[in-house]
Amino acid sequence: DVVMTQSPLSLAVTLGQPASISCKSSQSLVHSDGNTYLSWFQQRPGQSPRRLIYRASNRDSGVPDRFSGSGSGTDFTLKISRVEAEDVGVYYCMQATPWAWTFGQGTKVEIK
C-alpha cells in the first residue's frame, strides 16, 4: 500500500501570513495514464471534507486562489498564500490512484 506522510501535523499561523503543508508518498503517484492522482482536502470543524485540489495542482471551482497545490512524483505541497480565519481546520492529502486510495494523517491549521 502507498503510505502518505504529511508534515507538519500541526501549524499555527498568523492571519495574513503564508502556510505550507508537505505530503510525501511512499511511491510515485504518476499513473500509467500520465496523470498524478494526488488530491488535497480541507475539513473545517464539524464539517465533511471538501476537496480543494485535484491531480496535484488543479484548484476546484469555488476554492479561493490563495490555495495552490504543487509537486510531482512523490513530493507534494499545499500552500495558502495568506491565511484567513475561515481556513482553520484539518488538511489532508490523498493519493487517488484508482483502486488504491490512502489518506495522509492530516495537518491541523490554527490561527496564532
**The C-alpha cell of 13 is what?**
499561523
Q: Which is nearer to other proteins, 1 or 16 (CB)?
A: 1
Q: Which is nearer to other proteins, 71 or 104 (CB)?
A: 104
Closest distance to other proteins from the beta carbon of 63 (Å): 11
Closest distance to other proteins from the beta carbon of 15 (Å): 25
Q: Which is nearer to other proteins, 49 or 73 (CB)?
A: 49
Q: Which is nearer to other proteins, 55 or 81 (CB)?
A: 55
Residues 6+ apart with CB under 8 A from 45: 88, 89
Closest distance to other proteins from the beta carbon of 103 (Å): 5
Q: What is the DSSP string of the chain?
A: ---EEEE-SEEEE-TTS-EEEEEEESS--B-TTS-B-EEEEEE-TTS--EEEEETTTEEPTT--TTEEEEEETTEEEEEESS--GGG-EEEEEEE--TT--EE---EEEEE-
The residues of the shown chain that bind other proteins, judged by CB under 8 A, are 39, 41, 43, 48-51, 54, 60, 90, 92, 94, 96, 99-106
Closest distance to other proteins from the beta carbon of 29 (Å): 14
